[in-house]
Amino acid sequence: MRTPVALLLELGVILAALSMLGTLARRYTLSPIPLYLLTGLAVGEGGIAPVPAAGAFVETGAAIGVILLLLVLGLEFSLPEFAAGMRRHVPSALVDLLLNAAPGAVAGWLLGMDGIGILALAGATYISSSGIVARLLSDLHRLGNRETPSVLSVLVLEDCAMALYLPVLAVLASGGAWWQAALGVLAAAGAVLVAFTLSYRWGHHLGRLVAHPDAEQLLLRVLGLTLIVAALAELVHASAAVGAFLVGLTLTGETATRTRALFSPLRDLFAAVFFLAIGLSVDPGDLVAVLPAALALAAVTLVTKVVTGWYAASRDGVGRRGRRRAGTALVARGEFSLVIVGLVGTMHDTLGPLVTAYVFVLAIAGPLLTRLVGGPPRPSRQVADPRNGLPQG
C-alpha cells in the first residue's frame, strides 16, 4: 500500500510545529491550547499555509482526542463520589442554563433570527467545551483541587442536557413535527439514565473484564471498549465524551492506575489534533464581518460562565479563589457549539460565522483567563487516589 507523500509531509510539519509551540507555551507556564488553535487557523481553508491532504486525518483525530481527554479525566475520580456530586449540582445546572442560554436567545432575537435560529444560538452560548476544560485542568495541575468536582459536574450535566436538546433541534431544523422531537427526547433521556444506572450498579465488573498483565492487551481492550461506548452514546445524541467519561469512572484500582499511565501520551497527541481541528474549521475571511457581534456576545457569556462556576463551587464549600478558578475554567466553548451550527446548516447566513467566531474567541480567551486568575501552574504532585489509596500524578 502506497502512503500519500503529501499526507506524511503535512502531518510531519504540523506535529513538529505543535511541538515547538507547546515547548514555548510551557516555558512561560501557559497552556498551549491558544497556540494550537491559532496554528489551525493558519493552516485551514483561507489561512496562510493550507494543508488539504491532512484534513481527513485531523477531523478523525479530533473526535478521538475528545474521547481520550474525557476517558483519562474519568480515571481520576470514583463513580460513587461523582454521582453524589452530580445530584448536589442540579441547582448549578439550572443556574448554568438560565444564565448562559439566555444571552444567545436574546442575541438571536436582536439579529432577527427565527425560532430555530434563536434556539440554536442559545445552545451554542450555553455549552462549555468538555475537551478544552479537561485539557486545561490537566495542564494547570488542578485535578486535585477542591473546585474540580464541581466543574466536572457542571460539564457532565451540560452534556446530558445536550442529549435532550440536540434531538429537538435536529427534528425542528429538518422540518419534523413536535411529536418526533418529543420521541427523540424520551429516547435520549432513557439512554442516558440506563447508561448511568449500568455504570453505577455494575461498573465494578468492568475492571475485571478489561484487566490484563500485558500492557498492549490492556490498551487495546480499554480503547476498544471506550470507542464502542462512545459510539453508542453518540448514537442517541448523549455525547461520545460522556460515554468515555463513564468508562473512566468505572475503572478502579490497579487497572485505573495502569490505564492512566498508558493513555496519557496518546491523549496528549490526539488532544493537540483536536485543538488544531477547531482552528482548521474556521475561515478567517468569514470572521471579519461578525467579529463585533461575536466579541460582544463573548464578553457577556464570559461573565455568566464565571458566575456559574462561582455558584457551583460555592455549593461544595470552596473558597473565593477556588470559585474564581471554577468560573474561568468553564468559559471556553468548542466542539458542541460547532455541532449545533452543523445541525442547523445553511438555514441562517449569519449563524454559522457568528458561532464560529464566538467559539474561537472564547476557546482562546478561556485558557488565558483561567491561567491568569489561577496563578502559575503548581508542580505536579502525588495525591491520594480515593479508590485505592495509591498515589497518582
- In whole angstroms, give the CA distance from residue 246 to residue 241: 9
The pLDDT assigned to 255 comes to 86
The pLDDT assigned to 295 comes to 95
The pLDDT assigned to 381 comes to 44
In this prediction the pTM is 0.77
Residues 6+ apart with CB under 8 A from 130: 66, 69, 70, 155, 158, 159, 239, 241, 334, 335, 336
The pLDDT assigned to 317 comes to 92
The pLDDT assigned to 124 comes to 93
- The phi, psi pair for 391, rounded to 5°, reads -70, 150
8 A C-beta contact, residue 157 and residue 83: no
Q: How many residues does the chain have?
A: 393
**The C-alpha cell that represents 218 in the structure block:** 490492556
- Nearest of 264, 294, 210 to residue 71 by alpha carbon: 264
- Nearest of 300, 280, 275, 360 to residue 31 by alpha carbon: 275
The pLDDT assigned to 177 comes to 67
Question: Residue 215: how many CB atoms within 10 A of its CB?
Answer: 12
The pLDDT assigned to 2 comes to 66
Residue pLDDT tens, the chain, 393 long: 566 888 889 889 889 989 998 888 877 767 788 888 888 888 877 667 778 888 888 888 988 988 998 888 888 777 776 777 778 899 999 999 999 999 999 999 999 998 899 999 999 999 998 888 988 888 888 988 999 999 999 998 888 888 778 778 877 877 776 666 677 677 767 766 776 776 667 766 777 788 888 999 999 999 999 999 888 877 766 667 778 888 888 887 888 889 999 998 998 899 889 888 887 877 777 788 889 999 999 999 999 999 999 999 999 999 999 999 999 999 999 878 887 877 776 667 788 889 888 988 998 899 989 988 866 555 544 444 433 443 333
In the chain, the amino acid numbered 224 is G
For residues 363-381, b (16+ Cβ closer than 10 Å) or e, as one string? bbbbbbbbbeebeebeeee
Residues 6+ apart with CB under 8 A from 76: 143, 248, 260, 392
Q: Where do the structural domains in the chain lie, given as residue ranges? A: 52-267+293-375
- Nearest of 199, 94, 240, 202 to residue 153 by alpha carbon: 94
- In whole angstroms, give the CA distance from residue 162 to residue 301: 18
Domain 52-267+293-375 has CATH 1.20.1530.20: yes
8 A C-beta contact, residue 71 and residue 256: no
